Every structure is written in structure tokens, then in C-alpha cells.
A and B are shown apart, each in its own frame.
Chain A
Amino acid sequence: MIKFALGRLLQAIPVLLVVITATFFLVHSAPGGPFSADKAVPPEVIKALEAQYNLDQPVWQQYFNYLGDVVKGDFGPSFKYSGRTVNELIAAGLPTTAELAFYAMLIAVGIGVLAGVTASLRPNTMQDYVPMTAAMIGICMPSFLLGPLLVLVFGIYLDWLPISGWGDIPGDKILPSITLGTGYAAYIARLSRGGMLEVLSQDYIRTARAKGLSEPLIIIKHALRGGLIPVVAFLGPAFAGLLGGSFVVETIFQIPGLGRFYVQAAFNRDYTLILGMTVFFSTLIIVFNLLSDMLAIWLNPKLRQEIRGTK
């Protein structure tokens, strides 16, 4: 297992290098530089600014300088937020986004697994149709629609919950977490229903039933472990998706997270910030994919053997 993890981490290095390289040349070839503005900027000003940020050097040299800095863990200064470094901005936004993603994940897994398991226990009955129809609605409800709807109902009409901010007013974390989590809850519901249906038809469950074990015990002790493998495998990509998709929710709810920085950086051509964020996100995606794969292997003895056999 450790060998497997180390191998994957080694593979991550070339992946990151390609990501950095591709992103670097992508952002540098996008039209409009970081200093263009609607008021005409005199050429001498542009020159002075480019000199300050070393943008007057050849692109290749900038590229290698950048690589050198990244190896040292330094993402450089932000072009747009005068006086702030990219490291500082990531550090400012990360706790918020991570917390948001974590709560959203809790909601997604909590509701998704419950709904999926519930549905799988009596397939093709109302107990199946109701949660699965809800899941379909959840999947087709984009967060740019769900967010404002929740805000209107719970924030404005009922006046139960705050509608913006993060950690400023008690309860202001609830609506954004639900908004972000719902879509994934729906996916997880479908995945866990499928997984559970497979497992519940297995011989060992039948054996357990024949032995007269109580149903809750069978489900919790025996069925869930196998039935949730597809869900676990989905967690890695889902977490990456949550991080990346959080910008819509962050914008709707005025949350100071990484997603907003990322989008603003792209619009502002804040080269260093875009690059820093991309490297950071890719690393996270790789790590979470690895973690979820490892969890899936641990849950599935068959795969465990396969890994041992091949390595």
C-alpha cells in the first residue's frame, strides 16, 4: 500500500510539471495583460510596471525563473492585489474554502448515503422513487439557481438564516454548505443505491439473513462496507469538484474563499495568482484522488490482493 502511494506521488511530479508549463504559456498568451485598464495606460507606464514585475524578460527566462521559485515554494507577488504575495492570498482563502468544502461534503455524504441506502432497501417502491426523484432534481439544479432560491426562502421570506458572509454571523455557513453539497448528495445517492443493490443480492448477505441476524446489523456491519465502494471512489473527484465549483457559491454568498480569488485572477490576468492557484489545486486534486483510491482499496479486499500481486 505504501509502495502504491509512493509510486502515485512520484507520478504526480511530471503531471504537475506539465500543468505548470501548460498553464504558464496559456496565461501568457491570453489577450490583455495584467496592467491594461479602461482608461488608456501610457506606454511608458506599462514599461515601468513590466520592469517591476520582470515581465520585460523573455518568456522562456520568466518560465525558468518561475519554476525555480515554485520549487522553493514561492509563488511570487500578486500583480493585482498590490503588495500581497500569492502564498499569502492562498493562505487567506484556503481555510474558508476548505471548511466550506468539508461541510458540503458532510452534507453530500450524509444525505446522499441515507437517501441511497433507503432507496436500495425497497427498490421500485415509493421508498425508492421519492428519494431518487429528489436526487434527479438535485442533479439538475445548478448552484447558481439553488443558491438564490435558498436565500430567498430561508433568508428573506422566512428570515431564518443569514444570506452572506462566512463566520461573521452565527448560522451564515448553513446555506452555502447546503447549496454546494446538494448536487453531490444527489450523485452520491444514486451511487450508493446502486452499490447497495449489488451487495444486498450477494450470497454472504443471504447467509447472514439465514442466520437470523437483525436487518440493521446486517446493513451496518456487512452491506455498507461493500455497498459504499463506488461512493468512496467518487469522493476524490468530488472533493476536487467541490473546491473548483465553490466559486459560484462563494460569489452568491459573498464568501472570501479561494474560488473567488481564482476567478478574479483569471479575469485580471494576474499571472502569478492564476499559476499559484492552479498548482495548488492540481496538487490537492492529485492528493485527494490518491486518498480516495487508497480508501477504496482498503475497503475492497480483491483489489488489495491485485495491488500486492502486481507490485
Chain B
Amino acid sequence: MAEPVKDMTKEFEEHGSSLWKDAWIKLRKNHMALFGLSVLVILIFSSLLTPWIAPYSYEAQNLDLGATAPSMAHWLGTDIFGRDMLTRIMYGGRVSLMVGFIATAVALVIGILWGATAGFFGGRIDALMMRIVDILYALPFMIFIVLLMVVFGRNILLLFLAIGAVEWLTMARIVRGQVMALRNLEFVEAANSLGLSQWTIIRRHIIPNTLGPVIVYTTLTIPSVMLLEAFLSFLGLGIQPPESSWGLLINYGVETMEEYPWLLMFPGIALSLTLFALNFLGDGLRDALDPRTSKD
């Protein structure tokens, strides 16, 4: 892990444009990343506009119609209650994207702070903080959820917290490892001796070098958070019918994948599309932010 930052020592003399400006210039050249970005932007906008552009009501039922395959009237078919799937996927996307981004952000903030602190100070503080992570890993998640549900009732905020509380652990371990490896490297020491302030060191060296793995892990976290949300909603924490999310739609779709495959396929496609878009964007961002590639 220590290797990739070696070349960094050369960067000291440079007073180029800021990290982000550089990154943006590089990102614009990356077609896949731009594709990912535009897909995400489209998804976010259509989610925001859903109440105005959705073709049908997301809750009105037509039990006699039931589950029908895609048709001109219902482009993505209908579910067993005769509700339009396109509409339900659009509404579901609002929930999933919101949960995905907010819960991941919660996990990110806690994980980075925790991991960076542990990694930066090391020694006893590090051992203590990491043992706490071990403990949290080991607690029975299901009981924890049931308890949360009873103590706090149903609450979408609580859902974010519960998911964030679970997902930050791995993030903390990654950040800690990264920071630890960087801490003792020559270039940081060199920067110290050059009289650069701690903040500058963190901003110019630690953050850029930690960012890559964090971004990659974030792109992996968002979809897993969306699926976790489905599991929690299924257990009764989180959103309740008639509202839905992509994860829940997939969950229901699995049960009838032989009879009504479109109930699984379309929400699955929506989730995968988001995942790929995030992944392309994530890879692009990582490359764009990688200090070494700036010389290429």
C-alpha cells in the first residue's frame, strides 16, 4: 500500500491549479465517466420531477387487471395490484436514490473521521478505536434493528441512521489503513520539514491519496445500501406500502420471477444502471484525482 505514493515527492514544487480544477479537466476527457455522470444527472432530475411526469398514480389499484406484461398503455407492465410499473419505479427511485446517497454520506463522514483519527494518532488510541469497530461488527444486527424499530418507531431518518451505522465500519477500516500507510512516508516528513502546516499536509497529500480507495468503496456502498434498505423496509423499519423503493420492488419481483419476470427485470435494470453509472464515474474520479496520473 505504501508504494503508490512514492512519486508524490516531486509534486512539492508545483503550484498548479487546485486539485479539483485539475480533476475536472481530466474527468471531461473520460467518456465513460461523463456517461456515468449524465446517467446519474438524468436519474436525479427524473426523480425530482416524478410527481409531475409520472404517467399514473403510484397507489391506485386495479385488482381485476392484475399483473400484465409491458404494453402500450403500461410500458413496463403492471404489478399484481394492477399498478403501473413505470410509475412505481420512478417513485421507487426517489426513495432509493435518497437513501443511497444520504446513508452513504452518513457512513462516509463517520467512517472517514473515525478511521482518519485512529490512523493518524495510532498506538493506544488506534487500538481502542479499532476494538470498538470489532465490537460493532460482532453485534447481532437483527436484534439491533428490531430494538431500534420499537424504541424509535418508524422513521425514514432512522433508516438512514441504521444503515449509516452499519456501513461506516468498513469505511473506517479502509481509511485508517490508508492514513497509517501514508503517515510515516518520507514525503510527509519532508513536507513537515519544509514547514508546511498540518492542514496543508492533510489537504495536499493525505486527502488526495486516500480519496481513490474511498471513492471506489463509496461507489460499491451505494448499491449495497439500496439493497440493505430493502431488507430493513421488509422487516418493517423504513418505508411502508404503498410507497416503494427499487430494493423492495426487486425483493417482491424475485418471488414471481417465473410468472411475471418484468416485475423483477425493470427495477433490476434501474438499479444496475445506477450502479454502473456510479462505478464509471467513481473510476473516472479516482483517476482524475490520482496525483500520479497528473504527470501522464
- Residue ranges of A at the interface with B (Cβ–Cβ < 8 Å): 11, 14-15, 18-19, 22-23, 26-27, 29-31, 136-137, 139-140, 142, 144-145, 148-149, 152, 187, 190, 198, 202, 229-230, 233, 237, 240, 262-263, 266-267, 274, 277-278, 281-282, 285-286, 289, 302
Q: A19, A237, A277: which has the most chain B beta carbons within 10 Å?
A: A19
Contacts A31-B150, A144-B254 given; indicate if A285 touches B138 (C-beta within 8 A).
yes
- Let me know if A149 and B140 touch, CB within 8 A: no
Q: How far is the CA of A234 from the CA of B4 in the complex (A)?
A: 19
Flag if B131 contacts A23 (CB, 8 Å). Answer: no
Q: Add 9 more A-B contacts to A230-B1, A278-B140, A285-B138 (CB < 8 A).
A: A15-B131, A26-B143, A30-B143, A31-B150, A136-B276, A140-B271, A142-B250, A282-B138, A285-B134
Q: How many A-B residue pairs have C-beta atoms within 8 angstroms? Tell me.
A: 90
Bound-state Cα–Cα, A172 to B150, Å: 40
**Does B144 touch A at the CB level, under 8 Å?**
yes
Q: Does B73 contact A (CB under 8 A)?
A: no
Q: Once bound together, how far apart are the Cα atoms of A142 and B253, in whole Å? A: 13
Query: Within residues 114 to 162 of chain B, which ones have a CB less than 8 A from any CB in chain A?
Result: 127, 131, 134-135, 137-140, 142-144, 146-147, 150
- CB atoms of A266 and B138 under 8 A apart: no
| Contact present for A278 and B138 (CB under 8 Å) | yes
Verify A266–B146 contact, CB threshold 8 A.
yes
- Indicate whether A266 sits within 8 Å of B140 (C-beta atoms), given known contacts A30-B150, A144-B254: yes
- Determine if A29 and B147 form an interchain contact, defined as CB atoms under 8 angstroms apart: yes
Min CB–CB distance B91 → chain A (angstroms): 21
| Given A19-B138, A26-B143, A302-B2: A14 and B131 interface contact (C-beta under 8 Å) | yes
Q: Which residues of chain B have a CB within 8 Å of any CB of chain A?
A: 1-4, 127, 131, 134-135, 137-140, 142-144, 146-147, 150, 170, 173, 177, 216, 220, 223-224, 227, 250-251, 254, 257-258, 264, 268, 271-272, 275-276, 279
**Complex interface: chain A residues within 8 A of B279 (CB):** 136
- What residues of A have a CB within 8 angstroms of the CB of B3 in the complex? 198, 202
- Known contacts A140-B271, A140-B275, A152-B258; A26/B140 CB under 8 A: yes
Q: What are some 23 contacts across the A-B interface (CB < 8 A)?
A: A11-B127, A18-B135, A19-B139, A27-B140, A31-B146, A140-B275, A142-B227, A144-B251, A144-B254, A187-B220, A190-B216, A229-B1, A230-B1, A233-B177, A262-B140, A267-B142, A278-B138, A281-B138, A285-B134, A285-B138, A286-B134, A286-B138, A289-B134
CB distance from A102 to the nearest CB of B (A): 21
User: Are the CB atoms of A278 and B142 closer together than 8 Å?
Assistant: no
Distance in angstroms between the alpha carbons of A23 and B138 in the assembled complex: 9
**Smallest CB–CB gap between B229 and chain A, Å?**
12
Residues on A with beta carbons closer than 8 Å to the beta carbon of B275 = 136, 139-140
Shortest beta-carbon distance from B112 to chain A in Å: 18
Residues of A with C-beta under 8 A to B131: 11, 14-15
**Contact with B146, one of A30, A198, A233, A281 (Cβ below 8 angstroms):** A30
Q: Smallest CB–CB gap between B126 and chain A, Å?
A: 12
On chain B, the residues within 8 Å of A22 by CB distance are 135, 139
Q: A15-B135, A139-B223 are in contact. Are A145 and B254 (CB under 8 A)?
A: yes
